[in-house]
Amino acid sequence: MNFFLETLRFIGLLIYLMLESLFLLFIPVRKKNVAGEIVLITGAGSGIGRLMALKFAHLGATLVLWDINQEGNKETARLARKNGTVRVHDYTCDCSKRQEIYRVSDQTVKAFVPAMIASNHGHVVTISSSAGLIGVNGLADYCASKFAAVGFAESLALEMLALGKTGIKSTIVCPYFINTGMFDGCQTKWPLLMPVLDAEYAAEKIVSGILRDQVYVFLPRSMFFLHALKGIIPTKIGVLLGDYLGAFHYMDKFTGRAKKTEDNKSQ
Residue 264 has pLDDT above 70, yes or no: no
Catalytic residue, from 16, 91, 102, 142: name it: 142
Domains and CATH numbers, the chain: 33-110 (3.40.50.720), 121-258 (3.40.50.720)
Verify whether residue 142 is a known catalytic residue.
yes
- Tens of pLDDT, residues 181-208: 888 999 899 998 899 999 999 999 999 9
- Tens of pLDDT, residues 101-133: 666 665 574 447 888 899 999 998 888 999 999
Q: Give the C-alpha separation, 138 to 141, whole Å.
A: 9
Per-residue pLDDT band for 261 (boundaries 50, 70, 90) equals very low
Annotate 81-108 with b (16+ C-beta within 10 A) or e (fewer).
eebebeebebbbbeeeeeebbeebbeee
What predicted TM-score, i.e. pTM, was given to this entire model? 0.82
For residue 110, the model assigns a pLDDT of 45
Q: Give the C-alpha separation, 179 to 185, whole Å.
A: 10
